[in-house]
């Protein structure tokens, strides 16, 4: 009887040790990674301004002295350092609209941060593009006034003629003042 009790106790001890051991080691690894992360600071300020297909630089704000690098599909396209005023400017060659550029900011003792932006069409050309390809609704049917509107049913208009804004303009139509205030 005594012998059985002893071996039972032993097996309990073994079982207990085995169940607690992995928990302990997991706890240690977790604690270590937390300490490691806590020892690195994070960039509070990191901004990237809009980049257009006419841009020859990427600008933004960051921590002074930090290194900023720009990448397109993993390839570095330029780098710079954040100035004492907290701004940076990375020289780049012009990139096509919709190109994805990743900008990384790094400094020793800091956790590297990255942002990905998409190259926009230049503000001037995109607005002229949208106006020439934008559809408008010219007065048609019984109305003879040379005005075009935003929608086909504007002001209960009937028989509106759908055309691009540039075509409407070339035909002598003018924008409705009530639709475009």
Beta strand ranges found along the chain (DSSP E): 41-42, 47-48, 57-61, 67-72, 75-81, 87-91, 100-106, 110-111, 113-118, 135-138, 147-149, 161-164, 174-175
- Closest separation between CB of residue 179 and Zn ion, Å? 3
Residue 181 C-beta: closest distance to Zn ion, Å = 10
Between β-strands 147-149 and 174-175, what pairing exists: parallel, antiparallel or unpaired? parallel
Nearer to Zn ion, 95 or 149 (CB): 149
- How do beta strands 113-118 and 100-106 pair? antiparallel
| Measured CA angle at 127 (ends 125, 129), to 5 deg | 65
- 149-178: which residues touch Zn ion (CB under 5 A)? 149, 154, 176, 178
For Zn ion, which is the closer residue by CB, 94 or 171? 171
The answer to whether 179 contacts Zn ion (rule: CB under 5 A) is: yes
Tokens at residue 48, please?
A: 């990237």
Residues linked to residue 90 through DSSP beta bridges, in sequence order: 58
Q: Shortest Cβ distance from residue 130 to Zn ion (Å)?
A: 19
> Considering CB under 5 A, how many residues would be counted as binding Zn ion?
5
In the complex, what is the shortest distance from the CB of residue 175 to Zn ion, in angstroms, rounded to a whole number?
8
- CB 64 to Zn ion: min, Å: 53
Options 24-32, 51-59, 124-132, 142-150: segment touching Zn ion (CB under 5 A) = 142-150
Stretch that binds Zn ion, among 13-21, 50-58, 81-89, 147-155 (CB under 5 A): 147-155
Which region, left, alpha or beta, applies to residue 74 given φ > 0 means left and ψ of -120 to 50 means alpha? Answer: left
Where does this chain bind Zn ion (CB under 5 A)?
Answer: 149, 154, 176, 178-179
């Amino acid at each position: 009887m005594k012998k059985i009790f002893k071996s039972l106790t032993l097996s309990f001890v073994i079982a207990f040790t085995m169940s607690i051991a992995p928990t302990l080691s997991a706890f240690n690894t977790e604690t270590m990674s937390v300490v490691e992360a806590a020892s690195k600071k994070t960039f509070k300020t990191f901004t990237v301004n809009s980049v257009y297909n006419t841009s020859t630089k990427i600008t933004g704000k960051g921590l002074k002295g930090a290194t900023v690098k720009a990448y397109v599909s993993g390839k570095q396209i330029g780098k710079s350092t954040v100035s004492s005023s907290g701004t940076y400017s990375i020289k780049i060659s012009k990139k096509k609209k919709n190109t994805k550029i990743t900008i990384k900011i790094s400094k020793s003792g800091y956790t590297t941060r990255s942002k990905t932006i998409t190259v926009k069409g230049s503000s001037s050309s995109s607005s002229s593009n949208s106006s020439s390809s934008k559809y408008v609704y010219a007065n048609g049917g019984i109305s003879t006034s040379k005005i075009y509107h935003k929608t086909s049913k504007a002001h209960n208009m009937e028989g509106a003629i759908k055309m691009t804004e540039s075509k409407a303009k070339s035909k002598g139509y003018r924008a409705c003042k009530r639709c475009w205030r």
